[in-house]
Amino acid sequence: MINLDVGMLWYDDSHGLSLSDKIARAAAHYRTKYGRAPNICYVPAQALAQGAPSLDGLAVKELASLLPHHFWLGVAQAQV
């Protein structure tokens, strides 16, 4: 179930970076831009082939409708 209505879409096709690193870069940009840390990040299902990374305070979930290399970050509705 998606509990995010509004968020920031981030594209990162950098080679040589782990999924955790890509999400951390996106989260840092989100914090700078919006003044608060995201608490949820949706990633394409194929990105979690080796399991969800553990990131402090950030839930990582799959969303089949996301295109490869895209990340959707925001603050989950329960936290707003």
38-61 pLDDT, tens digit per residue, is 999 999 999 988 778 878 889 999
- Domain coordinates of the chain in residue numbers? 8-79
Mean pLDDT of the chain: 90
Q: Which two tokens stand for residue 50?
A: 């080796």
H or E element at residue 22: helix 19-34
Number of continuous H segments (helices) and E segments (strands) in the chain: 1, 4
Yes or no: say if 46 and 34 are a contact pair by the CB < 8 Å rule. Answer: no
pTM summary value: 0.87
- For the chain, the C-alpha Rg in angstroms (whole number) is 12
- Please tell me the predicted confidence (pLDDT) of residue 57: 87
Burial (Cβ within 10 Å: 0-12, 13-18, ≥19) of residue 52? middle
